[in-house]
Structure 1
Amino acid sequence: MRLLKIVPDNTNIDFVRLRYWAFGLTMLLTIAAVALVAVNRLNMGVDFAGGLMIEEQFQTPPSTDKVRTAVDRLGVGEASLQQVGLDGRTIAIRLPVQKSGDEGATNAAVNKVKAALAEQFPGAKFSRYSTVSGKVSGELVQHGILAVVLAVIGICLFAIFRFEWQFGVSTGVAIMHDVLMTMGFFALTQFEFDLNIVAAVLTIIGYSINDKIVIDDRIRENMRRYRKMDMREIINLSVNETLPRTVMTSLTILLALASLLVFGGHVLRGFTAAMILGVFVGTYSSIYVSSSLLITLGLRADPVATDKPVKPNPASGAERVGPQR
């Protein structure tokens, strides 16, 4: 039985030739992602923004204006609505933290919303609700940022001690690119950004560094094996040698994520979308950004060791070759 080979054995793609185009595209995408986050802002979930979030499921997609009007007249605060799911029948209603802040006030607000929507929209069903205080949400924001920053710093330090400092810098640049692309995607789509997405970002970082370490390790091996070869040729050879593994890993992960996107429901849709984006972005940055940046950073192969002739030492007492008297 023949093995399935998506990438032929004799593949020889000149990835480094496009490095300047890749650097330009990476810079443009990074600037666009930062601008999107600054202008559109992230749609912070209750975990980070604080407040009360209620999900209501309707028989048919309702008018968001009618739902907002029904909730605003209850006196529980200004409501922010967002349609959840592909069919548009589920709406997430976000309310500010209730004045007293205790569990009784929260339950009273939830019961008011449930009763008002059930009365105005027959067949509407209450799905779930969650609440987070402002103090807790602030702590979660700090801890989430700290987790991502420490993960990136730890990975860069590992690459520096495991390989060379150039590998650590290139890895850090590629990972920050992956993180910023994810943030820009959520600012553009306005998917809810909560603790699940922080977990997705950390998972994307783990996937990206896994691919980068494999390529970097092959580059280091080829640097020792082909010491006379140009660095550009070494990187192209290393990336092409690891390309079948990269493609197969990405495809298998995408198959699992596609199933999760279709059958996982709207609760996991943001997490799954972030992971799918991370697979594409992480693979791109591993091949075109992290590897090619090593040339710009001045990485070179070890020089070839040359055998120098050993001069005889007169003080060594070695026998003199010549006629004996």
Structure 2
Amino acid sequence: MEFFKYTRAFNFMGKSKIALILSVFMVLASFVILMTKGLNYGVDFAGGTIVQVKYDRAAPIDEMRERLKSNELFDGASITKFGSVDEVVIRMKSTTSSISVDIGDVTRETLEGTGNYEIRRVDIVGPKVGNELKEKGMMSLVLAVIGILVYVAFRFEWRFAVASIIALVHDVSIALGAIALVGLDVNLDVLAALLTILGYSLNDTIIVFDRIRESVTGSKNTELSEVINESVTRTLARTTLTSLTTFFVVFMLFMFGGEIIHAFAFTLLVGVIVGTYSSIFVASPILLWFGFDIKAYHVKLAEKTKREVEKQKMREQFESGVM
């Protein structure tokens, strides 16, 4: 199935300056949001306790707050709705210091008389464990970026590697800015979504880069902007189908997946949109701005082919006993 039949190349590089301005604006806006609002770390990274309570009617949040104030264990606790009016989450930055204290039982006793309810979930993460998870999460992102840099530089060329890394940093920065803007909790689910964005965006970028390399190798055209326009146009149908199918699946998860995966789905939703945009309007133009020389690349390929032919010739002479 082809939404876009290749009859002529679209002038993507002609819009690269506008795309650059838009990208710089979104990235800078994300940095401003991150510096002003900051990320709201969830229990996984900040440590603390989460208790999920479900009522058989609308949760009496005001009455719950009054009851919780009577127990010093719940000092500083916050109560927020969890997807519906009958379900709430109690968040505390502290954890119980004694293993003999069951926070679920304590919550049940404290809320007794507020209605019919059930304790659906209790999550407890100590501050030391949360800090360790945060450090390892950041390390996983850094190692993923380094691994991608090495892989792309080995498979293509250093300019391609730098372009792909800039595009990935662009995608993750905007995703983090969106997370901070809407105030979602950053937890292990969000970290998994960010790593998924890295893989998804890189896959899109590699497809485009593969087509550019094929065009550079086989085409007699030495104008890089025209080669990129032609290559991106040829991958447009594939990019559209892949992005739309992924977007619809993630959108359904976001709408109907429930509050438990809301942050994960939202992060992926932003990542799919931004990742598709960056593979066309961020990664590809960077090759143009870095001054990738098609003629020099052809000379490099010719020299590589010549060396391989000479090695093969020497190998054949050695095997025949001529040397």
- Which residue type is aligned with residue 29 of structure 2? A
Cross-structure match for 2:147: 154
CA-to-aligned-CA distance 1:232-271 (integer Å, 9 cap, x gap): 0000001000111111111111222233223322111111
Are the equivalent residues in 2 in contact too, given 1:45–1:192 (CA < 8 A)? yes
The 5 A counterparts of 1:175-194 are 175-194=168-187
Matching of residue 260 in structure 1 with residue 245 in structure 2: no
3-state SS of 1:103 partner: coil
What residue number does 1:44 align with?
41
- 208, 228, 233: which is aligned to 1:235? 228
Alignment of 1:59-208 (within 5 A): 59-62=56-59, 64-76=61-73, 77-85=75-83, 87-98=84-95, 100=97, 102-105=98-101, 107=102, 109-120=103-114, 122-208=115-201
Superposition deviation, residue 206 in structure 1: 0.3
Counterparts of 2:80 and 2:27 in 1: how far apart (Å)? 27
Structure 1 pair 11/50, CA: closer, same or farther in 2 (3 Å)? farther
- Whether contact under 8 Å (1:74, 1:112) holds in the other structure is no
Indicate which of 247, 262, 285 corresponds to 1:292: 285
Q: In 2, distance between residues paired with 1:140 and 1:66?
A: 35
In structure 2, distance between residues paired with 1:252 and 1:273: 16
Native 8 Å contact 2:95 2:125 kept in 1: no
Alignment length (residue pairs): 297
Match of 1:315 in 2: none
Aligned counterparts of 2:50 and 2:8: Cα–Cα separation in 1:
52
Deviations 1:59-104 (A, max 9, x none): 444464443332222111210233221x33322211133352x322
Deviation at 1:204, TM superposition (A): 0.6
Q: TM-score scaled to structure 2, two decimals?
A: 0.86
Cα distance in 2 between the residues matched to 1:38 and 1:113: 36
State the alpha-carbon separation in 1 of the partners of residues 23 and 60 from structure 2: 40
Give, in whole Å, the separation in 1 of the partners of 2:166 and 2:58.
44
The answer for unaligned runs of 5 or more in structure 2 is 300-323
Output one character per residue of 1:181-213: Cα deviation in whole Å (capped at 9) or x when no partner: 111111111122110111110011000000101
Structure-2 separation of matches of 1:199 and 1:137: 16
Which structure has more helix as a fraction of its residues?
A: 2
**Compared CA separation, residues 258 and 118, structure 1 to 2 (3 A):** farther
Q: Distance in 2 between matches of 1:51 and 1:135?
A: 10
Supply the AA of the counterpart residue of 2:105.
N
Question: Residues of 1 paired with 2:232 and 2:85: CA distance?
Answer: 44
* Separation (CA, whole Å) in 1 of partners of 2:117 and 2:9: 59
> Which of 268, 281, 284 is equivalent to 2:274?
281
CA distance in 1, matches of 2:134, 2:224: 43
Check the 8 A contact 1:215/1:238 in 2, yes or no: yes
- CA shift at 1:225, angstroms? 1.6
**Distance between the aligned counterparts of 2:57 and 2:268, measured in 1?**
30
CA contact (8 A) 1:227 1:302 kept: no
The structure 1 residue matched to 2:16, chosen from 10, 14, 19, is 19
What is the rounded CA distance, in whole Å, between the counterparts of 1:89 and 1:292 in structure 2? 50
- Mark the CA change 1:294 to 1:97 in structure 2 (over 3 Å): closer, same or farther: same
Write out per-residue CA displacement over residues 267-305 of structure 1, whole angstroms, 9 at most, x where no aligned residue: 111111111111101000000000011111111213567
SS at structure 1 position matched to 2:222: coil
Query: Which residue type is aligned with residue 108 of structure 2?
Result: K
| Greater C-alpha radius of gyration | 1
Instruction: Quote the Cα distance in structure 2 between the aligned partners of 1:61 and 1:190.
Output: 24
Instruction: Return the alpha-carbon distance in structure 2 between the equivalents of residues 64 and 208 of structure 1.
Output: 42
Structure 1 residue 111: Cα displacement: 1.8
- Distance, in Å, in 2 between the alignment partners of 1:147 and 1:168 is 19
How many angstroms apart in 2 are the aligned matches of 1:302 and 1:64? 70
Is 1:209 aligned to residue 202 of structure 2? yes
How far is 1:11 from its partner? 5.4
Name the TM-score, length of structure 1 as normaliser.
0.86
Rounded Cα–Cα distance in structure 1 between residues aligned with 2:39 and 2:175: 11
